[in-house]
Amino acid sequence: MRKIDQSILISNIKQLFMNAAVSLDSKVVHALEEAQKIESFALARSILGKIIKNQEIARNEDIPICQDTGVAVVFLEIGTEVFLDYDIEAAVNEGVRQAYFEGYLRKSVVNHPLERKNTLDNTPAIVHIKQIPGDRLIIHAAPKGAGSENMSRLAMLPPSAGVKGIESFVLETVKLAGGKACPPLILGIGIGGNFEKVAILAKTALFRSLDDVAENQTDRELEESLKELVNSSDVGPMGLGGATTCLAVKVNSYPCHIASLPVAVNIQCHAARKKTVIL
């Protein structure tokens, strides 16, 4: 067994969130630059230029890309040969606490959805744990802003709805979101599973690399058709029109009940902040 100390988990979580807040993934920057080159609508081109400039300033001056530094979402993939003899969620929360204090990141979490008292340290984080073979610990961290999360949706479609039903639900979701989700977007789409599983599928889809494609051909075809459809919606950058409504669509699927076709659309705004480390 390989032991990973609590202090190592805490310091890595802290570093991931501090980095994620100020430094946009280079693949997202590249996608924004490519989109700007082919965008024919002048206003959309100008907005993309400002988004690109904004992330550049944030990186150079070590300041957050956006004022909403989000809820801390963490996916831990823990090897079967890794030994963690402490409260993992408590360690994650300590790392988040340190990151939000030391990075001067906005604390956006309230204690209860109706009492709404700020917890003052951005905890608790949303923590997901999965077991993997081997002796590695993989940490994925993403500060998720509310603008795009609030516009995300889930539907339990009848199986007869098929691909057309999924496409129409995704398009409707993007149009309802309009500028509120700060496009251009990255769409994490979950299909299958059940009510709670499909939401996790959509969220994990957002953690995929921007340039990868789904392993399954059906999902791959759906990624392509959805991207084309969404980019023909004319929602455009910040909802002001244009051909760049989304940079990528990622579809994750799972088996489901014969009578169900669950679909979840987790929307990620252009401030697609996420970092991963392998220990």
Which residues contribute to the site for ligand SF4 (CB under 6 A)? 66, 68, 145, 147-148, 181-182, 269, 271
Question: Angle, to 10 degrees, between the axis of helix 88-102 and the axis of helix 6-22?
Answer: 40
Q: How far is the CB of 50 from ligand SF4 (least distance, A)?
A: 12
Q: Which is nearer to ligand SF4, 77 or 149 (CB)?
A: 149
Evaluate whether 159 touches 258 at the Cβ level (below 8 Å).
yes
- For the chain, give me the number of helices (H) and strands (E)? 8, 10
Q: How far is the CB of 18 from ligand SF4 (least distance, A)?
A: 16
Alpha helices, H only, the chain: 6-22, 26-38, 42-61, 88-102, 146-150, 162-177, 195-206, 217-231
Q: How far apart are CA 224 and CA 43, in angstroms?
A: 26
Q: How far is the CB of 253 from ligand SF4 (least distance, A)?
A: 26
Q: How far is the CB of 147 from ligand SF4 (least distance, A)?
A: 3
| Number of residues that this document lists for the chain | 279
Q: How far is the CB of 70 from ligand SF4 (least distance, A)?
A: 6
In three-state secondary structure terms, 151 is: coil
Q: Which is nearer to ligand SF4, 159 or 179 (CB)?
A: 179
DSSP bridge pairs for 250: 188
Evaluate whether 29 touches 23 at the Cβ level (below 8 Å).
no
- Tokens representing residue 65 in the block: 């890309």
Q: Which is nearer to ligand SF4, 191 or 267 (CB)?
A: 267
* CB-based closest residue to ligand SF4: 145
Q: Which is nearer to ligand SF4, 79 or 103 (CB)?
A: 103
